[in-house]
Amino acid sequence: MSDLTTVARPYAKAAFDFAIEHSAVEQWSDMIAFAAAVAKDDTMVAFLKSAAAADKVAEVFLGVCEEQLDAHAQNFIRVMADNDRLLALPAVDTLYQTFRAEYEREVTVDVTSAVKLLKAQQTAISKALEQRLQRKIKLNCSVDSSIVGGLVIKAGDTVIDGTVRGKLERLAHALQS
């Protein structure tokens, strides 16, 4: 996948820059996500791996996408097809969404708890993280029954372990030092 990420980066960056320039970040996000979903389809993957000519590949791919892509996005797909890069579309989508989140100063935070969090708890966590991280927060909440109590919060490289087990481990380490 890292190879596809390397291949996809310039395409994602170009698409994102174009979207910003034309005030169409959300529209391009939707179009790239749709094209990436088409590129993930097993039948389409087999077709893209075939030895078909680039213009034939682009024609078939655009035929599947129909009106979901505007003229600029169709040209984007043709360029990718000419360079035999349509298999990298899922990676382009992932990178584009990363660029968009950074542009919109948004971060996705994974919160794991012992029990399902109430809406009020989610709101309180979200507000506290917005202040701490200085970004809009998008919470992904999950339940892990192995957690005795507390929360594990992961935002990018930042991990906040507020579980009972984590606190006990830190206390034991402090006592041994």
Residue among 81, 72, 86, 82 nearest 14 (CA): 72
Q: Which sign does the torsion angle of CA 82, 76, 94, 42 carry?
A: negative
83 with 30, same domain: the answer is yes
Residue 37 φ/ψ, nearest 5 degrees: -65, -40
For 57-97, the pLDDT digits (tens) are 888 998 998 789 999 999 999 999 999 899 999 999 999 99
The 8-class DSSP code of residue 153 comes to: E
Residue 51 has pLDDT above 70, yes or no: no
Q: In the prediction, which pLDDT does 95 show?
A: 94
Residue range(s) defining the domain that contains residue 26: 2-102
89 with 141, same domain: the answer is no
Percent of the chain clearing pLDDT 90 (strictly above): 55
How confident is residue 2, by pLDDT bands cut at 50, 70 and 90?
low
CATH code at 122? 3.40.30
